[in-house]
Amino acid sequence: MINSKRLIQLARKWQKMAAMKRMRISFPRSAAEQNSSIANKGHFVVYTTDEKRFSVPLEYLNRNVFIELLRMSEEEFGLPSNGPITLPCDSTFLSYVMSLVQRCMPDDLEKALLTSLSTCHFSASSSLGPGQSHQQTLIYSY
């Protein structure tokens, strides 16, 4: 059995620990939300092969480029049961595609982009050696 002095000491120790937890500094909500896998309303989260996180508007799902990227992702990585969706491209390419879609990409450019996707599959399991990368550049400007 615990004597009363020891019980008081334990109670004070627990009170100090509780006070320390209340004084703990936490991250601002916006920084914590960036690292979470939960997307903002009207968006979905995808990752690229170089592990960069992108929040993509749901409207982009109507574009053939994103449909093709998601199909290629399913072929290469399978359907994730409870993990994130990984697209088979790097962050530079996805940023470029998102900027084109945001600026209302013309149909001929979308067809060229789809052709380049089908001929140059951005495969993480390609036949290239370690440290090598296959790059294809598609440039469009207004």
Q: What is the DSSP letter of 57?
A: E
In tens, the pLDDT along 18-66 reads: 776 665 554 444 444 455 567 788 999 999 999 999 999 999 999 999 9
CA angle 37, 93, 117 (to 5 degrees): 110
Q: What is the pLDDT of residue 106?
A: 87
pLDDT above 90 for 6: no
- Bridge-based pairing state of the strands 85-86 and 53-57: unpaired
For residue 97, give every residue at least 6 positions away whose Cβ sits within 8 Å of its Cβ, in sequence order, or none.
Answer: 65, 66, 69, 89, 113
Task: Give the position of tokens 């509780």.
Answer: 18
Share of the chain above pLDDT 70, in %: 70
Q: What is the pLDDT of residue 59?
A: 93
pTM of the model: 0.60
Question: Strand 85-86's sheet: what is its strand order?
Answer: 53-57, 43-47, 85-86
Contact 75/29 with Cβ under 8 angstroms?
no
In tens, the pLDDT along 82-126 reads: 878 899 988 999 999 999 999 988 888 888 888 887 776 544 344
CB atoms inside a 10 Å sphere around CB 56? 20
**What is the distance between the alpha carbons of residues 142 and 129, in angstroms, rounded to a whole number?**
37
Burial class of residue 35 (count of CB atoms within 10 Å of its CB; 0-12, 13-18, 19+): exposed
